[in-house]
Amino acid sequence: MTAVVLDAISKTWRGAARPAIDAVSLALPAGLTTTLVGPSGCGKSTLLQVIAGLTAPDAGTVALGGRVVTALAPEKRGAVLMGQDPALFQHMSVAGNVAFGLGLRGVPRAEVDVRVAELLERVRLPGFGARRPASLSGGEAQRVALARALAVRPAVLLLDEPFTALDPGLRETMRALVRELLRETGTTALLVTHDHGEAAAMGDRLAVMLDGRIARVGTPEDVFADPGSAAVARFLGANVIAGRVVAGGVETAFGRVALEGGSDGATLSLAIRPEAVRLGGEGPSARVTGVEFRGGATVVTLAAGEGETLVATLDPVAARGMVVGAIVPVELPAERVTVVRDVPRASA
């Protein structure tokens, strides 16, 4: 079942040279979380505003639960938008904040009290009902905002980079809590982020947005394993290298990959993730041009051929002793390499 359907949504801001959203069509499965990942300025937040009814599209339709809501006011749609700022009402108690939307909908007081208590328990803030927002930590305020958003049982919960303002440790805790709550409650959600790891961890489905368009949609595992285009592969942090079809595979600056398909002499682009690149063994040699220790991993940059570069992510122990200028063997496992199409980038 599909909860949200976007059909050919376009939006160009006044004075802009190109659309913020360019004929975007996207379906959100009911009860699942779809993450929308893309670079800053690609149109992610504008798309959320269109769904919420805060921005009118120039073209296209928005449907929630099978009902076209493009012309409806935000409060009549059933979509709830939650951003980085919890935006709690400072003059209200925590319980009052959580109950706010229920009161507007005329829910009986007894039912409101039960629902508020249940949600505060679920966001791990039991007994916080009488407290004021000013007394809350950043993480606590974010949890109250989440409880308020879920209280009205929205048709879709729109999350606009809600964890960005939190410190790393708290961010991980909040991600886990939100993921758990969304699945427990069966809430349909669309979460916007520019963080690849967050998109993969939070989403049942993942959509990549580039230059105002949806460039790839699928499960996180499928999208990372097979990005489809060179642009998506690069954005998600994969290496993209040139190859030429020869007998027995595809020849690259970093050796031959045993891939089938294509006519002899044809050129194509290959994608492989840094963690899939292997150093050592009997592969062809490349020169180390960079070594960067990042705590849990060491990133090694390699060069070969006529200016081709390749990035490998290694366990720090395996990378010990790796220095710039060293010549090392490289292996590209065929099962981790995918052919990607080259899509021309939009001109300015």
Q: Given this model, what pLDDT does residue 335 score? A: 94
Domains of the chain: 4-225 (3.40.50.300), 230-340 (2.40.50.100)
Q: Which tens digits make up the pLDDT trace of 195-240?
A: 999 999 999 999 999 999 999 999 999 999 999 999 999 999 999 9
Q: Given this model, what pLDDT does residue 263 score? A: 77
Residue ranges for the chain with pLDDT beneath 70: 343-348
* pTM exceeds 0.75: yes
Q: Given this model, what pLDDT does residue 343 score? A: 54
Q: Given this model, what pLDDT does residue 307 score? A: 86
Cβ within 8 Å of residue 95, ≥6 positions away: 116, 120, 129, 130
Q: Given this model, what pLDDT does residue 84 score? A: 87
- CA 339, CA 228: separation in Å to the nearest integer? 8
Q: Given this model, what pLDDT does residue 344 score? A: 47
Instruction: Give the chain's length.
Output: 348
